[in-house]
Each structure stands twice: as C-alpha cells, then as structure tokens.
Structure 1
Amino acid sequence: MPDQSPATAPSAPRPTAQQDGTLPGGGTFRFVVPSAKLGLEGEFDRRSWSVYLTPEQAAAPAKFNLAYQNAIVVAPEASQLTVLLNNRVVGEQQIGSPDGLSSISFDVPPGLLQPGGNLLSLQATQRHRTDCSVASTYELWSDIDPAQTYLSFSGQEAAKLSSTDAIRAIGVNEAGRTQFNLVVPALEQPGTTKPLLRLAQGLAILSGMPNQTFAFTTDALPMPGPGKMAIVVGTPAELQPLFAAPAAALTAPLAAFVTDPRSGSPVLLISGPSWPAISSAIDTIVSTTDRSPTVRRDALATERWSAPDAPLLFSDTKLPFSQLGVKTIEFSGRRVRTGFNIGVPSDFYANAYGEATILLDAAYTQAVLPGSHVDIYVNGNIASTVPLASTGGGIFRHFPIRVTMRHFIPGVNRISVEAILMTKEDEVCVPGTTGSTAPRFALFDTSEFHMPDFARVGQRPNLAAFAGTGYPYGRNADPIPLFIDRIDPDTLSATATLLGQMALVAGRPMAVEPAATPAAIGERDAIFIGSISQMPAAVLSQVNISPTSQASWRPTTDAQSAQAEPATTFDEWRSKVNGGVWRGQITSFQEWLRRNFDISLSSLQFIPGAETIFTPSSVDSFMIAQGPSSSGGATWTIVAAPSAKDLREGAEAVTAQDIWPQISGHITTFSSKTGAIETVPVSRFHFVASQPWSLSNYRLIAANWLSTNILSYALLLVALSLLIGVTTAGMLATLGRRK
C-alpha cells in the first residue's frame, strides 16, 4: 500500500518546455515518459521502464506527478491506475477523468529511490461501463500526458551534476526526446571530426535513451532545459569568446561538469591544451563503453523504454517468463495481453522455416466457453493460436505452442501473449457483470520461451540487420571509412545522430576514419553521408540508385504538389484502359497464393531477378540505401537527402524509436511531409559467412533457402528421386539370380 493516500493536486506545479528543469518555489523535476505518447489500453495493461537518477536526486525528497485522461466508457468503480517504483506501489487511483486531464501526485517513500536505474511501472485495470463483449475491450484506454508526468525533487541539490556519470541521467523532455547540444568553435577544422563522432557515440550509449539527437553549433551556448545537455568542446583559446575554461585545461585534458555563469545550469566541459589532449579527455568518458567486437553480448539495451533488457539469443535457449519481465496474472475480464522482448543476432536466417516454442503454464475456469483462445503475436503479427476447448476448465503445464519465426527481425523482437475469454455471463451481461473480480484465467510466470538452434549467416544487403544491431559495422574491429561531403553543422549533426543510434543498437562505439574519395575506401565496409548532389556517381550506381537523382531529387513545394502533370494523368489512364483488368487479375491471383499457400511469385523463380534502378520521388526527403562494394567484397551504405537541412531533419526522424525498426530491405525512404516510411525489398543478396564452418549450420541454411525457393526445392527433390531410382535399378540389375 502507498505510504500516503493519493490526492488530486490542482496546485501541483506544471512544468513547461520553457523551464530549465526547476519548479516555481524551488526544486527540480525530471520528465519520465520516454515517448511522445503513452497509452494504457484494454482491460489490463502494464508498462515498465528504467529511470536513471543521480545520487543527489535519489537522496532528495520526491513526489511522482501524473496526468491522464481516459475513455468515457471506462467504469471508474471497477478501474484502477497503479504506479510502482522499484516494484513497490507508491500510488493507486480510480480511473475517472473522461472530460479532460486530471493531475495526481504521490509521495515517494524515503529511501525507495536509488542512485542509478529505478524501475518505474504504470499499470491500468479497466472495465467497460455497460458492455461485456470482447469487442468493447478495444474501446478502453487511458492516455498519460508526458508533459505533466514527472518526478519532482525538493531542494537545489538534486540539480547538481557531480561527475560525468550523470550523463546517464540526462532523461527526456516533455515530448520524450533527448538532445545533446555540442558547442565546438573549431568544428570545421581538420582533425576534429573523428573525436567528436566518437564522443557522440559514447554519449548515446551512456544515456541509453530511445529518441536521441545531436546538434552542433559554433558560436552560442544553447538554452538549458529538461532532456537537454550542453557540451562545450575546444581548447581554452578557442572557447575564450564563449566560455572561460578553468586554468587546469591549459596544461592537461579536462572533462567535467561546470556551471554556466550566464544561465547557472551545468555544462559538460571537454577541453585541453590541444586537440590530441581533447581526444584523451573524450576517451576518459567514452572508454567505459568500449567493447571488443569479438566479445559476445548477452542482451540488447532496452530498459530505458521497455524493461528489462532484451536477452540476445544465439542458439538453443529456454527462458522463463519471470526472467523476461512477465509476472503472474490472475484475470477476471474478457481480453488480457502481456508480452516480452527478445533479441536475435544480425546473421539470423530462419524466417522461412524456423519455429520457436512457448511452453505455456496457464489455467482457466469452467466458466470459460469453447471458442475462447490464446493468441501469440510477433512484432504485431499473429504467429499462433491455441483454442481453449474444454468445457470444464483446464490447466496447461508447459503446453507447447509453436511460434513461426517468419516475422522475427535482427535486433529486438516483441512477443505478445493474448487471451480471448468468452463466458455465458458475458452473453447475458447483467448490470454489474463488467466489474466482477472473480478470476477466470491465470497466466503463470513459470511459462517458458524456447528458442531453437537456427541458421546463422550474414546477408548483403540487409538494412534490417543494419537497424537491428548495426551490422556489419558493429562487428568491425578496424576503423570504418566515413565519407562526408562537407563538414557543416547540419551534416555533422545528422552524422552524429545516425552514428549514435548505430552505436546504441551495436552496443559499442565504432571507430570511424574520414575518407575523401571512394578510391581511398577500397574494399571495406563504408558509410557515405551527405546531400545527394555531392554523392559520387559511381557509389550511387553501385547501390542501384539512378545518378540522375543528383539533379532531379528535389522535394516538391505545396504549389507544385497542387498541380498534377498532364503526362502523368495520361499515363495513369492509359494503364487503366489497356492493361488494368489483366493486371488486376494477376494481382488477385498473387494475393490468393500468398493468403492460402504462403507463396509469392518471387519464390517461384530459379534465379532471383536483378535489382531495378531506383529513383527517389519528390515526396521523399531522406533515404538510406545499402549494396555491395565495387568488387562485391564489402558493404556500402548511403545516407542521403536533397539538402543538408533535409539530411539533419531526416536523421532525427528515422532514428526515433517508433520508426527506426521499420528500416529494412535494400532501400528505405522517409517523407517529412507524410511521415511515411517506404522500403524496397531485396531482390538479390549474397551470403556472408559469420560463423565457423559446421555441418549443422549449413544444413539449417539450406533448409531456409530451399523453403524460400520452392521451385529449386522441387527440382532438387525430383533430381534426387531420379537418382535414387537409377541407383536402385542399377543395383537390381547386378544382384539376384539370372537365367
């Protein structure tokens, strides 16, 4: 039970984006929601993530402040919102705010918060006012307002940052974003790019936040605020017009938090007598995140937005639900859903044949009618269904549920378990039935997820692996060649934002080596970043992007988009009149094959088709493309936009938590106008050996390849049958009696 009964707090201070992290009347606050939106949906929902606190914040008296609004159909007498910190209930509140936002405040018990990570959980139990159907459960929601949900601390000590470890406590702003503002007067000088990009990657890993951006400036300190950190980098002479560096920076590397005399807010100062000394100061911060690419990770960092971290599974593994963050649930409603995260490596290759297994421990009462079922989802796609057919209730003890792995992707995967329950009481739905508390279903945390052995081989190109684990760059021990068309604040900000996200998913900062020309890169994995007009034409052709895009790719203005070109209109009508019916029949047949037999026309080809030349449309404002190098022995990735401004805005948009996992295929484009992500699937790829030779792995690789290429499998089956027949006939001809 909470130490103090909750009470609405109309007088509680409401932080705004203009504040610098302090509250009126003294004290500081920390926004805690790591996304722009947070909704608790259905009859039961629970979200958990970790909030990192400094020792000063953990020691200060604290309150948890929350603002929410719910659907009008939510019954307040049977619905409850619960706040837990470090698995201890600090507040409970009836859900009853359908007309607008309601703010509530709970005292945090002394000693509950701790320096470092603190597990925050929001749990909602919701019931419908009048309807007992399963469909009505989709109408239940409670939206949390991130701009009014925060931890507040008494006193001024909580605002202090005493060591560089406080980088982990940067937090988020009211929109769930994190921004590092780097002030570097010598930004465009040679020799500064490499250490600055190493610093950006280290900061990204240390903070671990899901929506991080980096911004470079040369002449002014940015305004302070929640979720923002100012970093000043340069020699004392370079910083003199902006910032007075301590005398210690004149003789030795320095990396420490200092107070900005103009705003009074803490600033991370990195300085030294020369840039080699500054690089040494950067290493004192970043070296704690270094990891050899040969050292295997056990988990992918997700706890800052979804706790716990996702375990990274490489082979046959069994994990109980309790270890995956799923707690035992006793449920009295109609639809309950919970889930967990697991990770798979970049060389995962089992999407065509592989099956994982959930060993389910669950029970349901005799009130549950046949027709009820348990569904398993992978990344939002239905993967398996188990009917609850017994009329007298039942108990599942490690009941195996096979889960197809066709929807698994490299990196983090979300697996959800949902139970749909129907009863006679719900069919009658007498008054008060919706609020019944008698359990009808239980899911136990002793259930297990079993990942079998799966094929492991790298693929080129593979943007899904690039987004999932930073492949292939995260595995490189040598510096990665990095082609940047020009060093300006927008381009370098986009580069730092992208590399920071790559370092976060790769789990380590990657050494980069600026390269001026493709000839200097040779046959090495490389990254090309810049505006499309400055990209080498040979590199664009290598990844099947039309070189004419350098002149033609320009976003349309509103005036241009309002007028349709006559040629386009005539072409559209010509296709409708001449071949529309025939093409429509072919499309319908393809859809029928896919829906009923899971067969696509691409799987009926003996030889994969060649990649088509791609031209970005005028709607697109950002593009990531990947392909082989000129000799085919390495991977080249291009990140381009029509201008440096578009490049920066596009990098900030696609690295957001809700968009980054959508990057896949051979080419991915983003439109700043529509917010849409479009992908071009891979037509032809090459295998890249990632594991030592083993017969079992090659057998699994062959199984997946043959499952994807049906005609090749059929031809091989016929050939083997003929071979067996010929061999048998030959043996019979030489054996046995003869006249």
Structure 2
Amino acid sequence: MLHHRFPSWLRFGTVAACVSAPICLTATQAPAEGLAPILQRPADASVLKRMPASRDLMTFRGENSSAAWPVFLNRNEAAQITTLQLGLLNTVSALPEGSVLKVAINGRPLSSLPIKSPDRMTPVAVKIPTGVLVPGFNAVQVDVTMTHRVDCSVKATFELWTSLDPAQTGFVLPRQMQAAGKSLDDLAGEPLAAEGTTRIHVRLAGDPDPVLLSRAGDLVGALAARAHLLRPVVDVGPEPGNGPGFDIVMDGSDAAADRRVGQEAGLTLERDPASNRLTVVANATDETGFSATIEALRRSSDRPAEGSAQGLQALATQSAGVAVDDRSISFADLGIHSVTFTGRHLTRTLGVTLPRDFYPSNYGMARLYIDGARAEGLAPSSALVFRVNGALVSSLPLGAGSPDHFDHALLNLPLKFFRPGYNAIEIEGTTPTASDEQCTVSSASTQPRLTIADTSELVMPHLARMQTAPQIAAMLENDREQDGDRDIYLTSGDPAAAGVGLTLVANMATQDGAGRIRFNLDQPVASDKPGIVIGASASLPEMLARPLRSEFKRADVTDDSTVGEPAGSLGRGKTQVSTPLEALHATAMGGSAWLRRNGFFFSGLEDNHVILPVHDDSLLLADVTTQDDSRRIAGIELPRFSDRQDRWLVVTGSSTDAIASANAALIANNHWRDLAGEAVAYDPKADGLKRVEPTQLSYVIPRTVALTDVQPILGGIVSSNILLSVSVLMVLLCLLGLSTHTLLNILGKRSR
C-alpha cells in the first residue's frame, strides 16, 4: 500500500467553472454528446488581464507538469475580478478520459477541467470566490495531467502537450474597468503585451543624446526595481507609445495637468483618456533634481513586494529562482508542491540562484533529501534521475528491492556542476510497470506510482567565494556598491540599439537592484573603461571582433576562408593547417580527443571549445578580453589572476533591429536567467539557446578572503590545472630525490 505525504488541496473537488453562458458544466464534468462548449464566446481580449508568460511558457509537456505565474492586481481589481479565463488547446494524442487541468489561485483549488480540445482553441472560464484575490502579486497555479490515447511507453509521453493561448488567458476585467493605477506601487499592474512582457516606451526626440540616455537608463532601472517588473522590454522613439505598457518622458515640461493621476518622488503620473496608457514624467530638468529623484526611487525599491505568500514565491521563482546560500530550503519554498504521480514519466525543475562570486569546484556537495514513496510492481529500470544544469549527477533506484518509502533519502550533487547565478536542478522519474505492455484502458493503473513530498529539502554547504571569468552572468549584474558608473557603448546611435541597452538595464535592475548607468555613443577603444558593447557585428571595433571569431561561426559557412567579410564580421570558415608546428599541434589535439573519448581526462590537454553557429536572426553575447594575459613556463599554462578590469560584454547580431527583436524574444521566453558561461547564441525562431562554458578561467582577486575559502579555492585551482600540478609535483619529487641523495652522501662520508 502506498503511503504519502501531500496537502489535501491536491484532491480537487467539484467546483463550478462557468460564465454567463446558456449551458454551464461543473468543472469535473465532461460535456455530453451534442452539448455546447463550456463557454459560448471568449471574453474580449481588451478586457483580459494577461499572464506574464509567452506561449512557450504556457505550454505544458509530458504526462505531468505545472507552472505558477505572479499577476499583480491593484485594490479595485482584487475586489472586483470574479473570473479567470483559460484558452485551451491540446494534442490529439491526449486521452480525454485520463487528462485533466487543475487550477488554483493563491494555494486555493478552484477547478478541475477536462483536457479535450485538440481541434481548436477553446475558452474556458473559472469562477473565483470572494476573498481569494489580494492586492499585489497573486499566484495562478496550473497543474496538467495527461494520458496517451494508444501508446503506454515512456517515449510516447514526449508527444503529450497542452497549451494555453496568452491572448485568451487571464483575469476577466469588468468592461467598465480599465487599468487605473495611480501610483508607482501599481506600476506592475499596467497591461502586459501579448507575449507577457512589460513594454516600456521612452520618448526621446531626435537622435539619442548620451546624457539624456544615461538619465533614462537610471530612471528605467530604478522604476523596474521599485515595481518588481517581470520581463521588461524597452524601446525608444519620439512619438507616444501605443498598446499595452507605459511611457517614460524625460522632459517635465511636457506634463499635462488635466491628465495627472498621481505624483511622487519627483515624478508625475499621467493617463491618456483616449488610449488609457500611463505616462511617467520626470519633473526635474537639471542634474541635481534628477539625482534626487533616482535616489528616492532606489530607497523605496528596498521595500518588499506586496501580495499573497504564494504570489511572492511565484515572483521569486519566475524572475531568477530562489536565492540559496549556505542554507537548507524545502521544495515547498522552492515552489515545488507535493506530487502524487500515476504515469510513467515525471519531470520537475528546482530553480536556485547562487551568488555571482560563487566558486564552483570539487570541494563540497549540495545534498538533496527526498521524502516520498513508490508503489510496488515498478519495472527494474524505474528510477529518479537528477541533473544539474543538464549534467547527470545522481540517481535513486525505484525498482524492486528499493525502499517503499523515502524518509529524507540522501543524494549528493557535486558543487562543480553548479555555476554562479541561476541553476536548474532537474528531477526526472521513470515509473513503468508490467501492465503498461498491455496498453488498454482496463489495464491502465489509476493508483499512484510515485509520491514526492514538498517536505523534501535542498541543503547547500559552505560556498567558497571567488569570482571567475569569463562569466556572462557576472557581467550582467548590478553592483550597487561599485565606484563609478556602469558604461554601455552603442556602436551606432540608432533607437533600436538604445532600446536594447535600456532593456538590459531594466532586467539587470529587476535582478540586482538599480545601478548607475552611463551611455556612450562613440566607438570603444582600448583606453576606454570596459563595459557593455551593443552593436551590429560589422560595426564592432576589431579589438572586440577578433576574440569573438573564436566563439561564433555562421551556420551556412562551408568554405575554408573568410575572404570578403567585413572587418568586424563574426563569420568563420574552417582553418587550414599550414605549418609543421600547426600540424603537430593538430595531431596532439587529435590524440587528446581520442584519450577523452576512451575515458581518459586531462584538463590541461583538452581543446574542446565549442564554436556556436549563428544565423542572421541570432542574438550573440560573449564575455571577452582585449588582452592576452596567458603566461607559460616551459609550455605549461599558469593560472590567470586578474582584477577583472579588462573584460567586455559584447551584445551583437547581424543588425541592431535583429538584436532588438531577438533580445525581446529571449526575455519573453524567460531565458534572461539562463545567460551564463563564456558565450551564448540565441535563435529566436527555434527558441534555442546554446552556450559555451569557459575552458580557460581567470581568477578575479577578491578584496577579502575568508580562511574557510582558502583550501577549497586552492584545491579547485589545482584540479583545474592538472599539468601545472603534475609539473610542480615532479619538481618537488626531483628536489626530494636530490636532497635525499645529498644527505646519504654526507652521512656515508661521516660513517667512514
């Protein structure tokens, strides 16, 4: 018998799911033959308060998946909204009798809906009882369970999907109610774009001015941090914005008294009566007044966000994962609720954020303590598999002979597989049984096969602190204690590039708080202070384009040369071996590759640097240096130590318009937190993000070093530089042998 620990809300009752339609079905009741659908017509998209998610983030794959979105409601909305609408579409492979979608808001179960809309998007409404919604952030939790029609294999579970249409999913606002925020506290409640982003339009007349653009960067960052905006995307132009989102005006002389709805911190809030679009106007016209406004916003941004406990948890999970540093945290606090699974293939992901100066190496283990149970009769191959950032690190057998119950079953996750910033700990369970081979409705088991309780815990050990480079995640952080401004260089002063720069600033602020920004519209040169460079690949200075050619190559390049490419182009063909020395090096690298393929690993010999293919629509990011600080002794690479002052973050693509479009897609699909490693290529058409992990690390000299960090840091440096360690050991052995030989000679002479 399977015993399990999970909250009672997982057992959904019958709750009505209807709107003002002629026929209203209960939430657990499937429509009889010939009956009308649950909703006769969808709500007007203009009166829907959308979820902060794109279509990709609202697609549920596999037999069992879930998602939670934080939605900000002002006080009037929280008091008057009574309906949540879902636009439902699913694969034809899903069995209607065994597939269900469950909805909960702020932890309260509301509805259990049949999944039976394979031919068209079907709008379904869920009634919200009074008192469920609160002012601030509310969590909308959706859990999907699906069963395949004809195939009971684990492979068939990858064919199952259910999608919610962002345009037809959201809270239904009363028609007389429109966005009516009157303060900065309500800024997160402004309407979202169709892809779930917060669109911000900065009104700047004429060509971007570096001083005015720097002020706009400070204001955008401060507002994003103050309002806890999710996925902000910024564009620049002289005309007023349109559609969902809000405007920012840098010149207070444009303020209109008849449109004013609020005023605070040196800012005036206006609302256009025709479009109902909000405008935030900076009243200050001189540097002193503007600095006072930014300082007031930064002080107020330190206040915690408002909302339900579940809503604030969803906010943390959606933005960057839950911060974990030298402590234990339960699955419930990580946003993973207890799950009782009846299928064959379960997937869950824990998102955790580690400090940006976290030093990953083999000095310790993160520990997972799993609570739960398994059913009898699982196939011998059944197991729970655990991955960290895609790397398989541990497993827990579930077949015959394994425990029926897990009471804090321990699994170790080596710290070397973690990285600074966001980390994904993936849990994958396979639970096939002998009855799956029959694959009939009568043989399909409805009994739980696996339970994972939300009392399971992740325990992090002491984390050594020393920043390494290259590391994109560290370059995209705002250090509020740093001296001076964060420099952003635009290689072309067009509005598209300025919008990309402001978008980066806004998203950095939502993660780390607002920092000081300085925009530069001149081509960066070697003597400039390193920072972020944004521009088309052909416009990049050669000092930055040169190191980038080792990271990227065009996907359609098949020839052996780059003749005719622009000086800053990232195109790269195959390299020719032209000298005996290069031929010898190629032979050595081929030999080391053969050793690695056959199980031998020598980090000092490896040259497995992946070159990322790029397309005309790709967005490229790379952490590069313009200086060659490599040092060798007798051909052996020495560890690199630096103060990080020579590193640049390059954001590029085929054109500034392509960069802006791909950057908006990357943010909409929540890939901002996945930016890590040495270089990244993002293909917006395939929503594919590929990265290159650093192969040669530089160690950033810390300001202070704790004694507890010395041993793990030294051990990590030694393990990452095998050839150097072996060479030092050989030298020490030679010295020991020489000294022993000398000592024996001396003692031998004395004895005579």
Alpha-carbon distance in 2 for matches of 1:330, 1:623: 41
Structure 1 residue 268 and structure 2 residue 285: aligned?
no
Q: Cα distance, 1:375 vs. partner?
A: 0.5
Alpha-carbon distance in 1 for matches of 2:599, 2:232: 42
SS in 2 for 1:168: helix
Compared CA separation, residues 586 and 175, structure 1 to 2 (3 A):
farther
Match of 1:540 in 2: 544
Amino acid at match of 1:344: L
Match of 2:270 in 1: 258
Structure 1 residue 232 and structure 2 residue 249: aligned?
yes
Matches within 5 A, 1:472-487: 473=479, 476-485=482-491, 487=493
Matches within 5 A, 1:200-211: 200-211=220-231
Compared CA separation, residues 544 and 235, structure 1 to 2 (3 A):
same
The answer as to whether partners of 1:36 and 1:174 remain within 8 angstroms in 2 is no
Match of 1:441 in 2: 450
Match of 2:190 in 1: 170
SS in 2 for 1:191: helix
Q: Cα distance, 1:672 vs. partner?
A: 6.8
Q: Cα distance, 1:690 vs. partner?
A: 3.1
Q: Cα distance, 1:714 vs. partner?
A: 3.4
Counterpart among 367, 383, 390 of residue 357 in structure 1: 367
Alpha-carbon distance in 2 for matches of 1:186, 1:80: 54
Alpha-carbon distance in 2 for matches of 1:155, 1:104: 18
1:670-713 C-alpha deviation (Å, 9 max, x unpaired): 56787765656545442112362234312212222333333333
Matches within 5 A, 1:419-498: 419-434=429-444, 436-467=445-476, 470=477, 473=479, 476-485=482-491, 487-498=493-504
Match of 1:113 in 2: 133
Match of 1:604 in 2: 605
Alpha-carbon distance in 2 for matches of 1:675, 1:448: 32
Counterpart among 704, 707, 711 of residue 719 in structure 2: 707
Runs of at least 5 residues in structure 1 that lack an aligned partner in the other structure? 22-27, 292-300
Amino acid at match of 2:605: L
Match of 1:289 in 2: 301
Q: Cα distance, 1:57 vs. partner?
A: 1.0
Q: Cα distance, 1:168 vs. partner?
A: 1.6
Structure 1 residue 86 and structure 2 residue 106: aligned?
yes
Q: Cα distance, 1:377 vs. partner?
A: 1.9
The answer as to whether partners of 1:46 and 1:122 remain within 8 angstroms in 2 is yes
Matches within 5 A, 1:480-559: 480-485=486-491, 487-505=493-511, 507-514=512-519, 524-531=529-536, 537=542, 539-540=543-544, 544=547
Alpha-carbon distance in 2 for matches of 1:475, 1:343: 20
Match of 1:624 in 2: 621
SS in 1 for 2:167: helix
The answer as to whether partners of 2:373 and 2:406 remain within 8 angstroms in 1 is yes
Alpha-carbon distance in 2 for matches of 1:54, 1:326: 27
Alpha-carbon distance in 2 for matches of 1:246, 1:272: 19
Compared CA separation, residues 58 and 158, structure 1 to 2 (3 A):
farther
Compared CA separation, residues 595 and 168, structure 1 to 2 (3 A):
farther
Amino acid at match of 2:376: Q
Runs of at least 5 residues in structure 2 that lack an aligned partner in the other structure? 1-12, 19-24, 26-36, 304-311, 564-571, 630-641
Alpha-carbon distance in 2 for matches of 1:403, 1:122: 29
Compared CA separation, residues 96 and 642, structure 1 to 2 (3 A):
closer
Taking only aligned residues, the RMSD between alpha carbons, in angstroms, comes to 4.5
Q: Cα distance, 1:460 vs. partner?
A: 2.9
Alpha-carbon distance in 1 for matches of 2:497, 2:139: 37
Match of 1:11 in 2: 40
Match of 1:295 in 2: none
- TM (norm. structure 1) is 0.80
The answer as to whether partners of 2:615 and 2:683 remain within 8 angstroms in 1 is no
SS in 1 for 2:333: helix
Compared CA separation, residues 348 and 422, structure 1 to 2 (3 A):
same
Alpha-carbon distance in 2 for matches of 1:217, 1:154: 33
Alpha-carbon distance in 2 for matches of 1:516, 1:261: 37
Compared CA separation, residues 278 and 185, structure 1 to 2 (3 A):
farther
Match of 1:346 in 2: 356
Alpha-carbon distance in 2 for matches of 1:660, 1:584: 37
Q: Which is further off, 520-529 or 325-334?
A: 520-529
Structure 1 residue 35 and structure 2 residue 39: aligned?
no
Alpha-carbon distance in 2 for matches of 1:734, 1:326: 71
Q: Cα distance, 1:518 vs. partner?
A: 8.7
Structure 1 residue 697 and structure 2 residue 709: aligned?
yes
Alpha-carbon distance in 1 for matches of 2:522, 2:174: 55
Alpha-carbon distance in 2 for matches of 1:509, 1:74: 46
Amino acid at match of 1:540: L
Q: Cα distance, 1:148 vs. partner?
A: 1.1
The answer as to whether partners of 2:221 and 2:514 remain within 8 angstroms in 1 is yes
Alpha-carbon distance in 2 for matches of 1:617, 1:326: 36
Compared CA separation, residues 264 and 528, structure 1 to 2 (3 A):
closer
The answer as to whether partners of 1:667 and 1:680 remain within 8 angstroms in 2 is yes
1:563-617 C-alpha deviation (Å, 9 max, x unpaired): 9989789x999989x99x99999988666644553736x5327xx99x99x9998
Alpha-carbon distance in 2 for matches of 1:572, 1:215: 35
Alpha-carbon distance in 1 for matches of 2:151, 2:223: 50
Compared CA separation, residues 377 and 648, structure 1 to 2 (3 A):
same
1:265-306 C-alpha deviation (Å, 9 max, x unpaired): 433333346565455445544542369xxxxxxxxx983484
Alpha-carbon distance in 1 for matches of 2:273, 2:144: 45
Matches within 5 A, 1:647-658: 647-658=659-670
The answer as to whether partners of 1:164 and 1:285 remain within 8 angstroms in 2 is no
Compared CA separation, residues 718 and 145, structure 1 to 2 (3 A):
same
Structure 1 residue 123 and structure 2 residue 143: aligned?
yes
Alpha-carbon distance in 2 for matches of 1:426, 1:532: 54
**Equivalenced residues, count:** 686
Alpha-carbon distance in 1 for matches of 2:14, 2:105: 11
- TM (norm. structure 2) is 0.78
Structure 1 residue 140 and structure 2 residue 160: aligned?
yes
Counterpart among 307, 310, 316 of residue 321 in structure 2: 310
SS in 1 for 2:42: coil
Alpha-carbon distance in 1 for matches of 2:331, 2:534: 42
The answer as to whether partners of 2:330 and 2:455 remain within 8 angstroms in 1 is yes
Compared CA separation, residues 397 and 573, structure 1 to 2 (3 A):
closer
What percentage of residue pairs aligned between the two structures are identical? 24
The answer as to whether partners of 2:466 and 2:702 remain within 8 angstroms in 1 is yes
Amino acid at match of 1:437: T
